[in-house]
Amino acid sequence: MLTVGLTGGIGAGKSEVSRLLVSYGAVLVDADRIAREVVEPGTPGLAAVVEEFGPEILTAQGTLDRPKLGSIVFADPARLAALNAIVHPLVGARSAELEGQAGPDDVVVHDVPLLTENGLASLYDLVVVVDAAPETQLDRLVRQRGMTEDEARARMAAQSTRAQRRAVADLLIDNDGPLEALEPQVRKVWEELRQRAAGNS
C-alpha cells in the first residue's frame, strides 16, 4: 500500500485532482468530508464543539452553522486552534479506519487541505501538491465560488504560503492552466504512484 498526502491552496484545484485519481483507481480518504461527518448531529464531535463555542453555533435544525463558526475561528487563531484540537483527532481516527480497509496494492490518497499548516507531511509515503499562482486561486474563488475578493484573500492568507507547500511536495501538479491541461499531468502522477505502490507491496 502507498499512502499519499494530497494538498493544495484553496482554489488550486485539489478536488478535481482527487476526483481524477479516484477515477483511475485510488482509494480516497477525504479529510474535509470526514471533518463534516464527525460533527454531524448526535456525534460526540458536535457535542464537544457546542461545549467549546456555545449553542449559538447551531442552526435551528440542530446542525452546525458552518458560516457562523467560520466567522469566529477564521478571525481568531486561538479559537481556530481550539476547534482543531477537537476535530483533528476525530478526523485522524476515522482516516486511519478507512485506510485500514484498503488492500495491499492500493494507492490511498488522503485529501488534506491543511497538510502543510499542520505539519503532516511525514505521515505519508509521499506528498502531492496541487499548485497554482495566487492570482489564479483568487480568480477561481471569486468567479467559481462567489467569494468577494476580500473574503478570498483572507482565506488564502490563513493558509500556508505557496513556497511552504512546494517545499513539502514530492510530486507537484501545476494547475495554473485550463482543465484539459490538468488531466495528462494527473495521469502521469498516477502512473508514478502505481509503480511506487507495486514496489511497496
Q: How far is CA 109 from CA 21, 95, 190, in A?
A: 8, 11, 11
Taking each helix axis from N to C terminus, what angle separates 77-100 and 66-73, rounded to the nearest 10 degrees? 120
What is the average per-residue pLDDT within 40-66?
Answer: 96
Which residues partner with 122 through β-bridges?
none
- Give 98-102's long-range contacts (Cβ < 8 A, gap of 24+): 98/27, 98/29, 98/34, 99/1, 99/3, 99/27, 99/29, 102/1, 102/27
What is the average per-residue pLDDT within 29-53?
Answer: 95
Q: Which of 191, 53, 42, 45 is nearest to 128 (CA)?
A: 191
Q: Per-residue pLDDT tens for 71-121?
A: 899 889 899 999 999 998 999 899 999 999 999 999 999 999 889 998 999
Q: Which helix (H) or strand (E) holds 167?
A: helix 162-168
The CATH number of the domain covering residues in 2-200: 3.40.50.300
With 90 as the cut, is the pLDDT of residue 179 above it? no
Say what the pTM is.
Answer: 0.82
Give the whole-angstrom CA distance, residue 91 versus residue 166.
24
Q: For 26-30, 35-39, 64-68, 176-180, which range has the lowest pLDDT when averaged over its residues?
A: 176-180
- Please enumerate in sequence order all residues whose Cβ is within 8 A of that of 185, keeping only pairs 6 or more positions apart, or say none: 173, 174, 175
pLDDT for 201 equals: 59
Q: C-alpha grid cell for residue 20?
A: 481524477
Cβ density class 38-63: b for 16+ within 10 Å, e for less: bbeeeeebbebbbeebeeebbeeeee
Please state, rounded to an integer, the average pLDDT across all residues of the chain: 93
Give the whole-angstrom CA distance, residue 188 versus residue 118.
28
With 90 as the cut, is the pLDDT of residue 31 above it? no
With 80 as the cut, is the pLDDT of residue 200 above it? no
What is the average per-residue pLDDT within 156-164?
Answer: 92
pLDDT for 97 equals: 92
Cell numbers 471533518 label which residue?
Answer: 35
Cell numbers 507495486 label which residue?
Answer: 198
Domain boundaries, the chain: 2-200
Give me the half-sphere count of Cα atoms (radius 13 Å) on the Cβ side of residue 85. 10
